[in-house]
Every structure is written in C-alpha cells, then in structure tokens.
Amino acid sequence: MVEIQCTQCKAFIARYKGSGELDLLLLEKVIKPIFLKELGSSEKTNLPLLICHECGNKLGNPTINAKGQFAYKMIKGSFRKKGVIKAMTPSPHTSWR
C-alpha cells in the first residue's frame, strides 16, 4: 500500500493498493479519498484531469485500460510515493484479546 503526494506542495493525493512503478493509477485500487475511488465505479467516460487540490499541479491524465477500467496515466515527476506501514492497518487475521 502506498500514499501518493504532490511533489510541489507535498499534499496528500491518494492511498493506493499496490506497489512498484505507478504508471497507471487504477481507480478501483484507490482506498482514499472516497470521491476519487467513486469515479472508478461511475459510468462517466469523461474523467477530469487529476490535479493537486492544494497547488493545482497536474498529476495524471484520464484513460481507460485494456480491461475497460478507469485509470489515470500518471505524469512522472509530478508525484511521489510513500510506503504505508502495514502494521498500522488492522489485519482480519489478527486477534485482539
């Protein structure tokens, strides 16, 4: 799981299920914010540009992948990824006594 931040102002953009290179941000794998996740389940074919809500930095262009999933083609250098510690995320297999 990674957190995506704007490189210009370091504002939070999204929390994403995935790792490695982030060329394509699949909306169905977005955890937060909810409005971004919901764009993936909508019937819209005209997704807005992905821009930073703080500084207006352009982060990604809307696209649809080969499987028909809504996504953003991320612009290299406009964002940074930060790993999220998995221990902070409760596991369904952990028993709290």
Residues whose CB is less than 8 angstroms from the CB of residue 29 and which lie 6 or more positions away in sequence, other chains included = 16, 17, 18
pTM across the whole model:
0.77
Convert the pLDDT of each residue in 82-97 to its tens digit: 887 665 555 555 544 4
Going from the N-terminus, what domains does the chain have, and what CATH number goes with each?
2-86 (2.170.150)
The tokens of 91 are what?
Answer: 């596991």
Would you state the structure tokens that stand for residue 37, as one six-digit string?
């996740």
List, for residues 23-69, the tens digit of each pLDDT value. Answer: 999 999 999 998 888 887 766 567 889 999 999 999 999 998 889 88
